[in-house]
Structure 1
Amino acid sequence: MTAPTINGTRYPQPIEDLLPAARGLDLPEGQRFPSRNRLMREFRIGAPKAGELLALLKAEPTTPPANTTAPDAPNPATTPDAPEPTAPVAPEAVDPTPVPEITPPEPYAEATPVSRPDTPTPPLTPAPVRSAVVWPVVLLALPAFVAIWSGWVGLGGLTGFGVVHPLPGIWDSFSINSAITLPIGVETYGAYALYVWLSGRVPDRARRFAKWSAIASLLVGALGQVAYHLLEAAGVTAAPWWITTAVACLPVAVLGMGAALAHLVRTHD
Structure 2
Amino acid sequence: MNHTETAYAKINIALHVRRKRSDGYHDIETVFAFCADGDIVTAKPAEELTLTIDGPFAAGLATTDNLVLDAARAIGVTAALHLTKNLPVASGIGGGSADAAAVLRLFPRHPGESRGPLSRTGNGTGGEMDPGVRRDDDFTKIAAKLGADVPACVVSRTMRGSGKGDDLTRLPSLAGTPVLLVNPRVPLSTAAVFSSWDGKDRGPLGDWHDGRNDLETPARRLVPQIGEVLEWLAAQPGAALVRMSGSGATCFALFGTMTSRDAAAARVPADWWHLASVLR
Structure 1-normalised TM-score? 0.22
Structure possessing the higher radius of gyration over alpha carbons: 1
Structure 2-normalised TM-score? 0.22
Q: Which has the higher contact order (CA 8 A, sep 6+)?
A: 2
Greater helix content: 1
